């Protein structure tokens, strides 16, 4: 007898849909001859996992997957349940009478599916592994052969775990390669450039594949802020801004991510950020402004601002380092597949769409994925977090579409935290872009900047995390909100008067000599804004915020002296915290918890670093630190 097992991860809001779908499946089982038994129950070890068992007669060949399993998987995908695993094995049902000569296709006498569902809590006690007659192992899964769209590990075939039928699964490995490269890096942002730099430095031939017509991705338009407890410039000490340490940064990051973070990855970030910043300064010529800010969710002044005030101030030094060590950037080169033969073997190469046609590159040492997140892929966002509705704008560049995550999943890579999607609270309200003025609300809170609604009233602790600030605005139901600050704060928060003047010219910053005048220009009740500013000024003097319990520091400046400025803001999709699972060496981990040989990933394409919510200014150190780790280890792989 053969058993097909489908394990699916189910969001709580999808349980009823799943049960309804499987009820419909049960009512139409008559058409599937040879089916002996149908089971459905919760996994007692992982409550969000559901198990579907299909038992088939011995004379039914399902090594390529049964039509019923194809139908069920397609149904799961229509529901939006795309995190599933499938395998086939030979088994027996010890407590079930079974007549081998019975050829009846009548399935109405099977154990009642609806009863199984109704008794779900009782059935949950059944252990999906130890209660099975044959233990399901990784080896057993592979031995079972090619299963319905989940395995194509046969001679000449490429692994593709996403296909729904046997014909589609037959993706053929290249018979010959167009070229061979030691290390292929996908993506030319912070993580990709850092990885290429370190791999090239160790003698590897490195190519960076970038699908867009320009290099840099989201990184080049990033806000240019970098969290590190220290640097060779020692700005915190120089500006007398208190104490900090890698441990304090570590604790803040774990807390900011609601402790969903993988601690060893957070440790990489917080212990490696200062060294990575010094590396970019020393080898790349990176320049920082003489300012340090305390951003939302951080307990210390540790956010550095690059001189250019935009991510390009980091990508250019990284590009220079990478090119110094021989790395080549190929623009308009889009990955269309990752080649791997089976679930035990290494990465073999990549298929690339180039301006001159499709090419297959053999990878001798390793592949490094640094392709970013999926903030611009509305369908993918909706699949994992329907609350992030299509109407939200996005700060991201058009190429942030997540296909490389899907390619990695297709060859066995595990993913995590895919539903954790961050809104940037301070984007330009109409377009959602993260322009230079949109960075001021983030940088200014450590120096006394306040957020007010259209009625001129504060609505949140300005030092709260991004998710809290975003939801506080959304719950107001009035778009936009505003940040209010004065000229005295500008340089301290890492800004410049040149940026302010440019922002005024574009209509982004509103300037006034008094708070009353500012309220009038913003068309909000004058008395409300005046009273709000007056109360907040007193809170700074008292060292206590009774309204929102904001931590008050000596660096915060009262809004007493003009000129005063306002900038409009509203949340937009900004960062996807989920992605490919990696270990502390930046090696990609498969769905069985094993390392996929010769496969690395770094940056926003990965999950586990930030948990449920990324603290602002942690993105660049995450990318650079893990990019460096990936590049170092990739170069050390044997060709």
Looking at the annotation, which residues are catalytic?
Answer: 466
DSSP 159: P
| Per-residue CA distances from 462 to 298, 472, 509, 571, 614 (Å) | 12, 11, 19, 14, 16
Structure tokens, 503: 């922002």
Structure tokens, 518: 């500012």
**Cβ contact 235:287 at 8 Å:** no
Query: Tokens 């791999």 correspond to what residue?
Result: 199
Structure tokens, 281: 């300064």
Q: Residue 29 belongs to what H/E stretch?
A: none
In terms of Cα–Cα distance, which of 5, 1, 8 is closest to 129? 5
| Per-residue CA distances from 96 to 1, 39, 55, 111, 122 (Å) | 12, 13, 11, 11, 20
In terms of Cα–Cα distance, which of 497, 493, 464, 486 is closest to 537? 486
- Helical packing angle, 190-201 and 312-324, nearest 10°: 20
Buried b (16+ CB within 10 A) or exposed e, 565-574: bbbbbbbbbb
| C-alpha–C-alpha distance, residues 553 and 173, integer Å | 61
Could you give phi then psi for residue 288, rounded to 5 degrees?
-110, 150
**Cβ contact 189:399 at 8 Å:** no
CA 526 to chain centre: 42
| C-alpha–C-alpha distance, residues 306 and 219, integer Å | 13
| C-alpha–C-alpha distance, residues 424 and 576, integer Å | 11
The beta strands (E) that lie in 151-247 are given as 179-186, 206-209, 225-227
Query: Tokens 């003698």 correspond to what residue?
Result: 203
In terms of Cα–Cα distance, which of 594, 450, 419 is closest to 528? 450
DSSP 590: B
In terms of Cα–Cα distance, which of 230, 236, 223 is closest to 446? 236
**Cβ contact 368:194 at 8 Å:** no
Taking the CA atoms of 9, 470, 461 and 256 in sequence, report the sign of the dihedral they define.
positive
| C-alpha–C-alpha distance, residues 229 and 248, integer Å | 8
Structure tokens, 356: 């001159």
């Amino acid at each position: 007898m053969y058993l097909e097992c489908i394990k699916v991860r189910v969001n709580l809001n999808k349980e009823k849909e799943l049960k309804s779908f499987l009820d419909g499946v049960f009512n139409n089982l008559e058409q599937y001859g040879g089916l002996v038994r149908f089971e459905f129950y919760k996994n007692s070890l992982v409550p969000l996992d559901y198990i579907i068992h299909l038992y088939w007669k011995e004379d039914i060949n399902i090594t390529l997957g049964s039509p019923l399993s194809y139908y069920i998987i397609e149904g799961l995908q229509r529901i939006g349940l795309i995190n599933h695993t499938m395998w086939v094995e030979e088994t027996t049902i010890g407590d079930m009478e079974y007549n081998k000569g019975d050829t009846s296709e009548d399935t109405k006498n099977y154990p009642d599916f609806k009863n199984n569902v109704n008794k779900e809590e009782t059935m949950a006690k059944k252990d999906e592994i130890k209660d099975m007659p044959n233990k399901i192992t990784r080896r057993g899964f592979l031995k079972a052969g090619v299963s319905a769209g989940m395995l194509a590990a046969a001679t000449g075939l490429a692994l593709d775990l996403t296909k729904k039928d046997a014909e589609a699964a037959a993706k053929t490995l290249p018979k010959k390669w167009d070229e061979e490269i030691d290390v292929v890096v996908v993506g030319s942002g912070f993580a990709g450039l850092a990885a290429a730099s370190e791999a090239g430095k160790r003698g590897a031939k490195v190519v960076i594949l970038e699908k867009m017509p320009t290099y840099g991705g989201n990184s080049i338009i990033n806000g240019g802020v970098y969290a590190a407890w220290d640097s060779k410039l020692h700005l915190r000490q120089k500006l007398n801004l208190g104490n900090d340490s890698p441990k304090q940064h570590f604790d803040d990051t774990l807390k900011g991510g609601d402790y969903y973070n993988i601690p060893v990855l957070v440790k990489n970030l917080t212990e490696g950020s200062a060294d990575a910043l010094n590396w970019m300064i020393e080898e790349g010529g990176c320049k920082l402004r003489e300012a340090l800010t305390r951003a939302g969710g951080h307990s210390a002044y540790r956010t550095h601002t690059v001189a250019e005030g935009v991510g390009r101030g980091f990508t250019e030094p990284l590009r220079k380092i990478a090119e110094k060590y021989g790395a080549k950037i190929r623009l308009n080169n889009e990955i269309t597949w990752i080649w791997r033969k089976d679930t035990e073997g290494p990465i073999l190469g990549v298929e690339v769409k180039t301006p001159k046609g499709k090419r297959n590159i053999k990878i001798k040492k390793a592949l490094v994925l640094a392709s970013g997140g999926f903030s611009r892929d509305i369908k993918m966002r909706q699949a994992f977090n329907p609350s992030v509705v299509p109407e939200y704008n996005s700060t991201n560049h058009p190429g942030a579409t997540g296909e490389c995550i899907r390619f990695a999943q297709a060859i066995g890579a595990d993913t995590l935290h895919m539903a954790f999607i961050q809104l940037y609270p301070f984007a330009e309200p109409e377009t959602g872009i993260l322009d230079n003025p949109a960075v001021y609300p983030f940088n200014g809170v450590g120096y006394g900047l306040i957020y007010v609604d259209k009625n001129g009233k504060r609505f949140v602790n300005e030092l709260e995390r991004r998710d809290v600030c975003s939801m506080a605005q959304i719950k107001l139901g009035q778009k936009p909100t505003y940040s209010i600050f004065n000229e005295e704060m500008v340089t301290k928060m890492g800004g410049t008067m040149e940026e302010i003047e440019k922002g005024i010219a574009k209509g982004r910053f509103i300037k006034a000599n008094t708070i009353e005048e500012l309220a009038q220009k913003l068309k909000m009740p004058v008395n409300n804004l005046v009273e709000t500013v007056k109360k907040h000024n007193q809170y700074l003097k008292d060292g206590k915020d009774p309204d929102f319990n904001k931590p008050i520091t000596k660096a915060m400046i009262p809004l007493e002296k003009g000129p005063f400025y306002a900038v409009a803001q509203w949340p937009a999709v900004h960062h996807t915290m989920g992605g490919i699972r990696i270990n502390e060496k930046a090696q990609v981990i498969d769905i069985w918890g094993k390392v996929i040989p010769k496969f690395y990933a770094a940056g926003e394409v990965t999950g586990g670093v930030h948990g449920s919510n990324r603290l602002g200014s942690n993105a660049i150190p995450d990318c650079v630190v893990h990019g460096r780790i990936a590049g170092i280890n990739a170069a050390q792989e044997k060709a």
